[in-house]
Amino acid sequence: MESIIYILIATLFLTSYQGFKSPAFREKYIFDVDQILIDKEYYRVFTSAFLHSNWYHLIFNSLALSSFGVFVLVVYGIKDFTLIYMISLIGGGLLSLYLHRNHGDYRALGASGAISGVVFSTILLSPTSEISLLFIPYGFPAWAFGIAFVAYTVWGIKKGSDNIGHEAHLGGAIFGMLTTIAIDPDLLSTNYWIFVLLMAPCLIFLIFVYKNPEYLLVESVSLKSFINTRKKTYEPTKTPEEELNDLLDKISSQGIGSLTAKEKKKLEELSGKELK
C-alpha cells in the first residue's frame, strides 16, 4: 500500500532533477501568473508541484510526505489518499493564483501545497497525536501544531518577504481538510472542534482579503526575488534594446524552442517579425 508514496517521491525526484539540469524544462512547467492567466497555460498550476528549487527543498518535502502520508494512506487507502493529495495540490495552486492575480511576475514551484493538505488531513484525523519536527527533540500536540502553522502562514502571506509559498500552504491545508471531511463526514461529529479551530481563521483571513484586496499590496510586493517554494520576481524595467538582446542571447544558447509564449510575443514586438 505504501508503494504509492514511494512512487510519488520517485516522480518528484525525477521531475525535479530534470528541472535542476534543464532551465528550459523548469521554465516550461513552473507556476507563472502571466503564463497562466494571459497565455492560458493552466497546466502550470499542476506541473509546478513536481518541480523544486534545490535538493534541500526536494528532500524536505519528500520526508514530510513520507512521514504524514503513511497515516492517511493506512486510514483511507490509496484512492482517497491520492484524492486528498491531488485536490490539495490544485487547491493550493488556485489560491496562489487568486491572491497573486495582480502580480503578473509571480512564479512558484514545489509540492508544498499538496503535502500541507496531507498534513492537515492527518491533524483532522488525530488532533491529539504528537508531531515531532526535524532537529527538535520535543513533540507537539497535532492541534497546536496546526494552529501555529495557520498563524505563521497568514503572517507569511502578509509579510511576503521570505522564500516560502505560504499561499499554497494555506490553500493546500484548506482543501486537504475539506476533502477529508467529504470522504469521512463522521469527522464533523467526532472531531468538529479541531475542524472549526483550524478552518475558522483561514476563512476569516480569506474573507478579509477578498473585501480588502489592498491589504496584500502594502508589503508583499517587494523588490526581492525568490525561486524556492514560491518565487516572486520584480525586476527593474529594461530598455527595448536590452530586452531584445536578452532574448537573442537565450536563442543563441538554448535555441528558439526554449522561448516561452510570452517571450515569443515580446520578440515579435521588438523585432517586428512574426515567429513561426
- Specify the 3-state DSSP secondary structure of 224: coil
Query: Contact 90/117 with Cβ under 8 angstroms?
Result: no
C-alpha cell at 112: 508544498
Could you confirm whether 57 is annotated as catalytic? Answer: no
Query: Contact 109/227 with Cβ under 8 angstroms?
Result: yes
191/194 Cα distance (integer angstroms): 6
Which position among 16, 48, 88, 112 bears the catalytic label? 112
Which position among 88, 100, 169, 220 bears the catalytic label? 169
Phi, psi (degrees; rounded to nearest 5) at 69: -65, -35
Could you confirm whether 129 is annotated as catalytic? Answer: no
27: CB partners within 8 A, 6+ apart: 258, 260
86: CB partners within 8 A, 6+ apart: 114
103/106 Cα distance (integer angstroms): 6
Burial of 204 (0-12, 13-18, 19+ CB in 10 A): exposed
Q: Report the run of H or E that residue 166 belongs to, with start and end.
A: helix 166-183
C-alpha cell at 28: 516550461
Positions annotated as catalytic residues are: 112, 169
